[in-house]
Amino acid sequence: MSTILIIEQILNGLQFGIMLFLMAAGLTLIFGVMGLINLAHGSLYMIGAFAAAAVAGATGSFLLALAAAMAAAALIGAIVEMTVIRRLYATDHLDQVLATFALILIFSEGTRWIFGSLPLYLNIPSWLAGPVTLPGGIQYPLYRLTLIAVGLLVWLGLWWLIERTRLGIQIRAGENDREMIAALGINISKLYTLVFALGAALAGLAGALVGTIQSVQVGMGEPVLILAFVVIVIGGIGSIKGAFVGALLVGLTSTLGGVFLPELFKLFTDPATAQSAGASLASMSIYILMSLVLIWRPTGLFGARA
Amino acid sequence: MKKLLSAAAILALSAGLASAEVKVGMITTLSGGGAGLGIDVRDGFMLALKQSGRDDIEVLIEDDQQKPDIAVQLADKMIQSEKVEVMTGIIWSNLAMAVVPGAVAQGVFYLSPNAGPSQLAGPGCNQNYFNVAWQNDNLHEGAGAWANQTGYKNSFILAPNYPAGKDALTGYKRTYQGELAGEIYTELGQTDYAAEIAQIRASDADSVFLFLPGGMGISFLKQYADSGVGKPVIGPGFSFDQDILGAVGDAALGAVNTSQWSKDIDNPTNAAFVESFQAEYDRLPSLYASQGFDTANLLISALDKAQPSDADAFRAALKAAEFDSTRGEFKFGPNNHPVQTIYAREVVKEGDVLTNKIIGTAIEDHADAYAAECKM
């Protein structure tokens, strides 16, 4: 196996990880600040992708489509927070899981009702299409490089927002003691709506960016949601830094495991068995990673609480 | 007792001549990610019923949500309380395996408009089970045969790591005679194929065979086109049909795929089907829609001769398959699976609509590989 292929696979792992980060960041933010398990986060991802496909189809502009994805997800996120989610903060996690699972069903069938059952068309704009040649002769799609850059920018932006702004101080305070910051005169319900909308917008952005190279269809959010939960459990619930490190770990493990485990198995079994056993073990690899991390640090890599 | 029975039969027969209601239970996938297939089967089926003008066939349609347990519950309800005599509709092989053996054991006729797992074609075949679509391996075997005809010598093959994926690669290898540049099982439901595409790029393959149904195929084709690898792609019609071509866009252009049906198969039934489907539903039919349409017409042709209550006569009428198929001639092999021609099609653009056009015949009069194991 050549060095070029290995480097290319590492880039693939990074890019996959960064996409997971966009999804996990919103999820962990919402869990960290409001203590809410939001299963409907995958639906917001789907809403972002559908909004992007609709706007790209109508206007032909990819940037407008991205803006629409974030706006639509944020708006629907805010509405859902104010009508449904708000009633769940005081309840236990089981009620939250039940209610947000119901939201998944409502959003999925609602989307089908509006857009029909067939997957929608959303493709890479011509100015980002095709491969570029990197130093060393590696051919790599420009769009995937752009995804890595966008993900890093979002990470920086979130870091700045949480560490350097007044809103960030309130978010961090809200994670620690919601009664106290309410007592200090912060409008806690407004803060919660804002954080929920921010998390939703990130999910919407991820949906639009990923939907562009994948399939924009009903139910597209749920498989990603499972991975995003693995990411925040590894990273430590509520930690943006944890989500970033966890996402990269999961992205790299999943990509490199899928490539190298079958190769490894080929050393001591026949190719067909190696392929199928390697592929099976590769799909388990991120869960094995998660259990190892949890044995070592039960609160996750950067988690403050159990 | 015997007298009573024959009296009942005469009554049933005369009622049949008047307007006996035949109850047909359709369990298919109408919600969730796989709904496009179920909706096409249902629409094709109902279109044929509508065109027949018969009002003695009552169809109960239920959504299995692509879940085996729900499909089994629905089947029990249909057989026990609704007393359906004929069932159809299931899209997925794992659901078919959960429902079909039990249903036919209770004397219900099952006409499969899509799933054709090898178990039901081989040792598990049943005289009341008829597959109107294909045995699962058929289109892959067609793809392998077409690869030989095209002169591909070194294919890179990939499919998801689940039973139908394994059947797909087995089917391709059964007919394909060249070397394999690589063989990959991807995760079921995988949406990012960067790692696999990098391996294809690094290999010395001259062609790529893929079986990635639904959203998996959309994702792969878009990413493959963007990667600039450019090796020719071949696969079964499932990844290149009307239900997903619109979403894949130009990335699918030029891909060769195999199918037992295409909208340009030249016969009057097919031309009328394509035209009336478009008029009725305002979209082009997929191969799934053609299978639903053929299933309904097979049922109607059998009902013209006998009622399901007269099981032997009805079974013989089904087996005779005297109906006008969208595929032209239609016949069943000894295991009640079609013996049919598999065509090679290419994805082309007609106006601004992506669709398929036949470029050749992959295999003629092809029977499945399991028929010999079927003892009926």
Number of domains in chain A: 1
- The burial of B337, by beta-carbon neighbours within 10 Å (0-12 exposed, 13-18 middle, 19 or more buried), is given as buried
Whether residues B183 and A12 touch (CB distance < 8 A) is answered with no
Asked whether residue A63 is assigned to any structural domain, the reply reads yes
Is B198 part of the contact surface with chain A (CB cutoff 8 Å)? yes
- Confidence bin at A42 (pLDDT 50/70/90): very high
Q: Which residues contact B86 (CB under 8 A, 6 or more apart)?
A: B22, B23, B24, B25, B108, B109, B110, B111, B299, B308
- Nearest chain B residue to A254 by CA distance is B195
3-class secondary-structure state, position B32:
coil
Domain boundary assignment for chain B: 2-134+265-338, 138-259+342-373
pLDDT reported for residue A79: 96
Residue A188's domain comprises 10-220
Q: How does pLDDT run across A159-177, given as a tens digit for each residue?
A: 999 889 999 988 888 878 8
pLDDT at A1: 61
**10-residue averages of pLDDT along chain B (376 residues):** 51 47 94 84 97 93 93 96 95 93 96 93 94 95 96 95 86 95 87 90 94 88 92 93 89 94 95 96 94 97 94 96 94 95 95 93 94 90
Retrieve residue B335's tokens.
């295991």
Q: How far apart are CA B158 and CA B137, in angstroms?
A: 15
Using a CB-CB cut-off of 8 Å, the residues of chain A touching B185 are 275-276, 279
33-52 of B, contacting A, C-beta below 8 A = 33, 35-36, 39
pLDDT for B129: 97
Torsion B340-B343-B347-B352 (CA) sign: negative
Q: What is the pLDDT of residue B18?
A: 42
Residues ≥6 apart with Cβ < 8 Å to B105: B126
Q: Least CB-CB distance to B246: which of A118, A141, A279?
A: A118
- Answer whether residue A236 is part of any domain: no
CATH fold of the domain at B138-259+342-373: Rossmann fold (3.40.50)
Contact indicator for A205, A69 with CB cutoff of 8 Å: yes
Is residue A99 assigned to a domain? yes
pLDDT at B49: 96
Which tokens belong to A120? 């929608």
DSSP per position, B157-223: EEEESSHHHHHHHHHHHHH--SEEEEEEEEPTT----HHHHHHHHHS--SEEEE--TTHHHHHHHHH
* Cβ burial A206-230 (10 Å sphere, 16+ → b, else e): bbbbbbbbbbbbbbbbbbbbebbbb
State the smallest CA–CA distance between residue A119 and chain B in angstroms: 6
Q: How many CB atoms lie within 10 A of CB A1?
A: 11
CB contact under 8 A, B36 and A117: yes
E-assigned strand segments in A32-145 = 131-134, 138-141
**A89 close to A100: Cβ distance less than 8 angstroms:** no
Predicted-complex ipTM score = 0.85
Domain contains A205: yes
Residues of chain A in contact with residue B198, where contact means CB-CB under 8 angstroms, are 5, 8-9, 12, 259
Rounded to 5 degrees, φ, ψ at B324 are: -85, 105
Name the class of domain B2-134+265-338. alpha beta
Q: Does residue A258 sit within a domain?
A: no
DSSP string, B3-27: HHHHHHHHHHHHHHHHHPPEEEEEE
A5 touches chain B (CB under 8 A): yes
- Any CB–CB contact under 8 A between A282 and chain B? yes
Per the CB < 8 Å rule, is A279 touching B185?
A: yes
Q: Do A117 and B39 touch (CB under 8 A)?
A: yes
Q: What are phi and psi of B344, to 5 degrees?
A: -100, 130
Q: Above pLDDT 70, what percent of chain A?
A: 99
Q: How many helices (H) and strands (E) does chain B have?
A: 13, 12
Share of chain A above pLDDT 90, in %: 58
pLDDT tens, residue by residue, A207-240? 999 999 988 988 899 888 999 999 999 999 888 8
What six digits make up the tokens of A200? 């939703």
A62 and A122 in contact (C-beta within 8 Å)? no
Kindly indicate the confidence band of residue A283, based on its pLDDT and cuts at 50, 70 and 90: confident
pLDDT at B190: 84
Residues of B in contact with A215 (CB under 8 A): 191, 214-216, 218-219, 244, 247
Instruction: Report the residue of chain A nearest B354, measured CA to CA.
Output: A121
The CA-atom distances, in angstroms, between B317 and each of A83, A241, B299, B323, B329 are 59, 68, 9, 10, 16
Q: Which of A214, A270, A285 to mutate to test the interface with B (most CBs of B within 10 A)?
A: A214
CA–CA gap between residue A150 and residue A156 (Å, rounded): 10
pLDDT of A108 > 50? The answer is yes
Q: 């944020």: which residue's tokens?
A: A74
Q: Is residue A68 part of a domain?
A: yes
Q: What is the Cα B83 distance to its own chain's centre?
A: 26
* Contact predicate B335/B370, CB 8 Å: yes
CB contact under 8 A, A213 and B223: yes
Which whole-number Å values give the CA distances from A296 to A142, A234, A289, A301, A302, in the listed order?
A: 38, 11, 11, 9, 12
For A138, the 3-state DSSP assignment is: strand
Nearest to A12 among B194, B243, B248 (CB): B194
- 3-state SS assignment for residue A228: helix
Nearest-neighbour CA in chain A from B51: distance (Å): 25
Chain A / chain B CB contacts < 8 angstroms: 131
- Average pLDDT of chain A is 90
Collapse the DSSP code of B279 into the 3-class scheme (helix H, G, I; strand E, B; otherwise coil) and give the result.
helix
Planar angle of CA B178, B182, B188, nearest 5 degrees: 120
Q: Which residues of B touch A223 (CB under 8 A)?
A: 189, 191
Tell me whether residue A2 is in a domain.
no
Q: DSSP letter at B240? A: G
Q: With both helix axes pointing from N to C terminus, report the angle between A41-59 and A221-235 in degrees, rounded to the nearest 10.
A: 130
